[in-house]
Chains A and B, each alone.
Chain A
Amino acid sequence: MIAFLRRHRGQILTYLGFILFAFVWLLPFYFIVSSSFTPRYEIFQTPPRYFPQNLTLENYPNMMNAIPFWRFYLNSLIFAIGSTVVSTTFSAMAGYGLARLHFPGSNLVFLGLVLSVALPQVALLVPIREIFNTLDLNNTYLGLIILEASITTPFTVWIMVSFVNQIPVEIEEAALIDGATLWQSITRIVVPAMRPALATMLIINFINGWNEFLYPLIFATRNDTKTLSVGLVSLGREAIGSSRPWDLMSAMSVLMIVPVLILILFGQRAIVSGLTRGAVK
């Protein structure tokens, strides 16, 4: 027995570490999910229950009656998908341009783009508010998508440049010598080669957009543009019924987590390998 333990010490430690890690990482997640299926009276019980005794689904319809949930859902989807597509497309273009088409000052442009992430978004709110007032962009998907796309571009450009730098330039050169136009070489060779980086950044930018809180909070004050994150916080503050509606809020939280969870389950390899190959070289 002792010999067994000694021989497999490394493996045993790894599994113990895994159990501890999984417990801490998943506990709040379990708490939110289980609350969403717990009836209200059981949530407000002392001492609290760790396993709900009577499971219920009623929190979900109750929550949907309290707020325009599906409208918020649609808004969040439009906001996240729109900003992801804009940001990833623009960044891929710029990434290719910076990595391949050198011109005087291209390093400076690259540095400027990447370092501009250091200007905190919250610190620029007042002027953006004035721009939005002037251009009538408040409460529009267009305005929100521009802002969100903009904050995710520096990181995306960085990843794209690193990635394109790893694609051998010879194939494109060969294609050009064979008479292909620059446009043909981009669509037939470069875009397919960049597919892994594109997939990674589409996933990451979607998650960032889905989770964004500041911009919708400030620039979406109407229900027809408010996103889920803003709706969730206001659900907690507007006290529907007689007390803090954690039953409703947990149900809403679970439905908010579902899309990102699906992306993670199917995209884990893409995220890890994309970041491994891109960012960190």
Chain B
Amino acid sequence: MTHSVENAPPASPSRRKSFTLSQRRYLAAALLLLPVVALRLFTTLYPFIQTILLSVQKYNPAFPPREYVGAGNFEKLAGDLVFQSSIEFTLIFVFGSTLLQLIFGILVASLLNAKFRLRNLARTINLIPWAIPMVVAALGWRWLFDGTYGWITDLQTRLGVQFSWLIDPVGARVAILIVNVWKSTPFVAISILAGLQGVPEELYEAARVDGANPVQSFWKITLPLIMPLTVTIGMYMMVWQLSVFDLPYAMTSGGPGFSTSVLAYMIQQQVATLNYGYASAISVVMFLVVAVFGAVGLYVFRRVEVQI
């Protein structure tokens, strides 16, 4: 039974073939959807509205009173250097990581799609960084970068390069990016692999007949065909990586100074010091950043789709 369904030809567009509507169907739909919708309302929509309300209050349980301050928190943010640095590094982190992950993701996906004997092994290896918990990865890499005992420090010293990654503000930022790209490229790679598998073999055959070399057919055939998918994944990664906070938390504690603090980390720190109103104001800024990413992403997505 299962078998016959799995091997059935690709779905005919099911939307047109829907069952006719009936009240029982509405009831069934409501029952099926209720758990997820309730879960999301309870943990997302209600907190979202509350966050916006909190962002205009001064609220720290240790320093009462709790009061309405209007734009006070946001004015304070405008002059907060940690915030400025956090927003700067958040943008570097999100754009830098995503760009590098897409580039390496396409390269790795090509490897995982190539016909060679170790392909299955390669696909398994690929998933390892993705499956390792972020805090484990962060702490492991922290040791690799350690100024005294780290392998990376030792290797570069042998090559004559004296540099302490985690002490230098730029070095620490680069180190965080390296770890994040290492950790999340695998997910990008398997997602792009799906796209590569969808490129019809005949197109490559035709290109080969026309005398195109593999590099040319990659640029002319593969890339344009996987572009919409790549943009979708890029958007997803950007939104998702905006809320990465465990990496700086476990690897650098935002340091040296506050150079590797990101918005998500700063919010967690403000929550920890009980500045709930201020933390909510930063959260609202984060919502705005997500909205801008989303709008820009949709615009880019439309353009890419039209071009092909």
Instruction: Answer yes or no: A and B touching, Cβ < 8 Å.
Output: yes
Which A residues are closer than 8 A to B by beta carbons? 10-11, 14-15, 17-18, 21-22, 24-29, 31-32, 35, 43-48, 50, 90-91, 93-94, 96-103, 106, 109, 113, 115-131, 146-147, 149-151, 153-154, 157, 164-171, 173, 176, 182, 188-189, 192-193, 195-196, 207, 210-211, 213-214, 218, 228-229, 232-233, 236, 246, 249-250, 253, 256-257, 260-261, 263-265, 268, 271-272, 275-277, 279-280
User: Which of A94, A119, A128, A253 contacts B36, CB < 8 Å?
Assistant: A94
B307 at interface by CB-CB < 8 Å: no
Q: Name B273-303 residues within 8 Å CB distance of A.
A: 276, 279-280, 282-284, 286-287, 290, 294
Q: Mark B130-153, 1 if CB is under 8 A from A, else 0.
A: 111111110111011000111100
Q: Is A127 a contact partner of B46 (Cβ separation < 8 A)?
A: yes
**Closest A-B pairs by Cβ, 3 of them:** A97-B32, A120-B243, A123-B283
Q: Taking each of B4, B50, B229, which has the highest tally of chain A beta carbons within 10 Å of its own beta carbon?
A: B50
Min Cβ gap B146→A in Å is 9
Q: Is B51 a contact partner of A126 (Cβ separation < 8 A)?
A: yes
Q: Is B51 a contact partner of A11 (Cβ separation < 8 A)?
A: no
Q: Which residues of A contact B28 (CB under 8 A)?
A: 97, 101, 182
Q: Is A24 a contact partner of B116 (Cβ separation < 8 A)?
A: no
**Residues of B within 8 A of A (CB-CB), count:** 104
Q: Which residues of B contact A125 (CB under 8 A)?
A: 267-268, 271, 279
Q: Is A275 a contact partner of B191 (Cβ separation < 8 A)?
A: yes
Q: Is A28 a contact partner of B154 (Cβ separation < 8 A)?
A: no
Interface residue SS majority, chain B: helix
Q: Is B29 a contact partner of A97 (Cβ separation < 8 A)?
A: yes
Q: Which residues of A contact B246 (CB under 8 A)?
A: 213-214, 229
Q: Which residues of B contact A210 (CB under 8 A)?
A: 133
Q: Which residues of B contact A277 (CB under 8 A)?
A: 194
- Whole-angstrom distance between the alpha carbons of A97 and B24 in the complex? 13
Q: Which residues of B contact A214 (CB under 8 A)?
A: 245-246, 268
Q: Pick from B5-13, B68-76, B163-171 the stretch touching chain A.
A: B5-13
Known contacts A121-B243, A146-B43; A192/B135 CB under 8 A: no
Using A166-B10, A173-B19, A264-B124 as known contacts, list a sample of 17 further A-B pairs with CB atoms less than 8 Å apart, ordered by residue number in A.
A18-B116, A21-B125, A25-B126, A90-B39, A93-B32, A102-B18, A124-B43, A126-B51, A130-B50, A151-B43, A167-B11, A213-B250, A214-B245, A229-B134, A232-B136, A250-B140, A276-B194
Q: Is A150 a contact partner of B50 (Cβ separation < 8 A)?
A: no
User: Which of A98, A109, A122 contacts B264, CB < 8 Å?
Assistant: A122
Min Cβ gap B206→A in Å is 19
Q: Is A126 a contact partner of B271 (Cβ separation < 8 A)?
A: yes
Interface residue SS majority, chain A: helix
Q: Which residues of B contact A21 (CB under 8 A)?
A: 108, 111, 122, 125-126
User: Which of A32, A109, A117, A122 contacts B239, CB < 8 Å?
Assistant: A117
User: Which of A28, A126, A173 contacts B50, CB < 8 Å?
Assistant: A126
- Whole-angstrom distance between the alpha carbons of A213 and B195 in the complex? 31
Q: Is B26 a contact partner of A103 (Cβ separation < 8 A)?
A: yes
Q: Is B134 a contact partner of A213 (Cβ separation < 8 A)?
A: yes
Q: Is B5 a contact partner of A189 (Cβ separation < 8 A)?
A: yes
Q: Is A127 a contact partner of B54 (Cβ separation < 8 A)?
A: yes
Q: Name B89-126 residues within 8 Å CB distance of A.
A: 107-108, 111, 114, 116, 118, 120, 122-126
- Whole-angstrom distance between the alpha carbons of A279 and B229 in the complex? 10
Q: Mark B246-275, 1 if CB is under 8 A from A, else 0.
A: 100110000000000000100110010000
